[in-house]
Amino acid sequence: MTTEVDLDVPLRIADLRAARDPVKVVVGPQVRERVTAARTFLSAVLGDDRAVYGATTGFGALVGYAGRADLRDQADNTLAHLGAGQGPELDPDVVRATVLLRAASLARGASGVSPHVIDALAAMLATTFVPAVPRLGSVGASGDLIPLGAAAQALRGRGHAYLDGVRLPAGEALKRAGLEPLPLDGRDALALVNGTSLTTAATALALDAARSAHRAVQVLTCLLADLLGSDTQFLDPRLLAAYGHPGAVDVGARMRRVGAGLVASGARPLQEPYSIRCAPQLLGAAEDALRYVDAVVGADLASVTDNPLFFPDEDLVVHGGNFFGQPAAFAADVLSMVVAQVGNLAERQLDLLVDPNRNGGLPPMLAAGPGQQHGLQGVQLAATALITEIRRDTMPASMQSVPTNLHNQDVVPLGTQAALRALDQTRLLHLVVGSLAVGLRQAAYVGARAPTAPGCAEALAAVAAAVPPIDPDRPLDADVRRAADVIADFSVSFS
> Do both 34 and 123 map to the same domain?
yes
Q: What is the predicted pLDDT for the residue at 60?
A: 62
Residue 353 CA: distances (Å) to CA of 31, 380, 443, 450? 55, 10, 8, 15
What pairs with residue 163 in β-bridges? 166
> Do both 281 and 188 map to the same domain?
no
Domain encompassing residue 301? 202-494
pLDDT, mean of residues 330-344: 97
> CA torsion angle for 162, 26, 10, 427 (degrees, to 10)?
-30
Report the alpha-carbon distance of residue 455 to residue 260 in Å, rounded. 7
Answer yes or no: is pLDDT of 22 > 80. Answer: yes
Answer yes or no: is pLDDT of 65 > 70. Answer: no
Roughly how many angstroms between the first and final C-alpha of the chain, as a whole number? 26
The chain-wide mean pLDDT, for the chain, equals 93
> Do both 62 and 158 map to the same domain?
yes
Angle at 472 between CA 453 and CA 440, to 5 degrees: 20
Residue after which a domain boundary falls, among 170, 195, 220: 195
- HSE-CB at 301 with a 13 A cutoff on CA atoms is 23
Residue after which a domain boundary falls, among 195, 217, 242: 195
Residue after which a domain boundary falls, among 195, 224, 256: 195
> Do both 113 and 245 map to the same domain?
no
- pLDDT band at 48; cut points 50, 70, 90: confident
> Do both 340 and 419 map to the same domain?
yes
Q: What is the predicted pLDDT for the residue at 46?
A: 86
CATH number for the domain including 11? 1.10.275.10
Query: Are the beta carbons of 285 and 245 closer than 8 angstroms?
Result: yes
Query: Are the beta carbons of 307 and 142 closer than 8 angstroms?
Result: yes
Q: What is the predicted pLDDT for the residue at 70?
A: 60
3-state secondary structure the chain: CCEEEECCCCCCHHHHHHCCCCEEEECCHHHHHHHHHHHHHHHHHHHCCCCCCCCCECCHHHCCCECCCCHHHHHHHHHHCCCCCEEEECCHHHHHHHHHHHHHHHCCCCCCCCHHHHHHHHHHHCCCCEECCEEECCCCECECHHHHHHHHHHHCCCCEEEECCEEEEHHHHHHHHCCCCCCCCHHHHHHHHCCCHHHHHHHHHHHHHHHHHHHHHHHHHHHHHHHHCCCCHHHCHHHHHHHCCHHHHHHHHHHHHHCCCCCCCCCCCCCCCHHHHCHHHHHHHHHHHHHHHHHHHHHHHCCCCCCCEEEHHHCEEECCCCCCCHHHHHHHHHHHHHHHHHHHHHHHHHHHHHCCCCCCCCCHHHCCCECCECCCHHHHHHHHHHHHHHHHCCCCCCCCCCCEHHHCECCCCCHHHHHHHHHHHHHHHHHHHHHHHHHHHHHHHCCCCCCCCHHHHHHHHHHHHHCCCCCCCCCCHHHHHHHHHHHHHHHHHHC
> Do both 281 and 406 map to the same domain?
yes
Answer yes or no: is pLDDT of 144 > 70. Answer: yes
Structurally, how many domains does the chain consist of?
A: 2
Q: What is the predicted pLDDT for the residue at 476?
A: 98
pLDDT, mean of residues 321-343: 95
Q: What is the predicted pLDDT for the residue at 77?
A: 75
> Do both 295 and 357 map to the same domain?
yes
- Among candidate residues 446, 435, 443, 437, the one with its CA nearest the CA of residue 369: 446
Report the alpha-carbon distance of residue 211 to residue 195 in Å, rounded. 26
Query: Are the beta carbons of 162 and 129 closer than 8 angstroms?
Result: yes
- pLDDT band at 407; cut points 50, 70, 90: low
The amino acid sitting at 214 is: H
Answer yes or no: is pLDDT of 216 > 70. Answer: yes
Cβ-based burial of 426 (10 A; exposed 0-12, middle 13-18, buried ≥19): buried
> Do both 329 and 275 map to the same domain?
yes
> Do both 243 and 259 map to the same domain?
yes
More confident residue, 127 or 57: 127
Bridging pattern class, strands 134-136 and 166-169: unpaired
- HSE-CB at 120 with a 13 A cutoff on CA atoms is 23
pLDDT, mean of residues 155-173: 98
Q: What is the predicted pLDDT for the residue at 141?
A: 81
> Do both 367 and 489 map to the same domain?
yes
Residue 1 CA: distances (Å) to CA of 22, 93, 125, 212, 269? 10, 19, 15, 24, 53
Q: List Cβ neighbours of 166 (8 Å cut-off, separation of 6 or more).
A: none
pLDDT per residue over 245-300, tens digit each? Answer: 999 999 999 999 999 999 999 999 999 999 999 999 999 999 999 999 999 999 99
Answer yes or no: is pLDDT of 409 > 80. Answer: no
- pLDDT band at 494; cut points 50, 70, 90: confident
53 is annotated as an active-site residue: yes
Q: What is the predicted pLDDT for the residue at 408?
A: 61
> Do both 247 and 341 map to the same domain?
yes
Q: List Cβ neighbours of 274 (8 Å cut-off, separation of 6 or more).
A: none
Report the alpha-carbon distance of residue 382 to residue 376 in Å, rounded. 10
CATH number for the domain including 377? 1.20.200.10
Report the alpha-carbon distance of residue 134 to residue 198 in Å, rounded. 12
Q: What is the predicted pLDDT for the residue at 71?
A: 62
> Do both 152 and 232 map to the same domain?
no
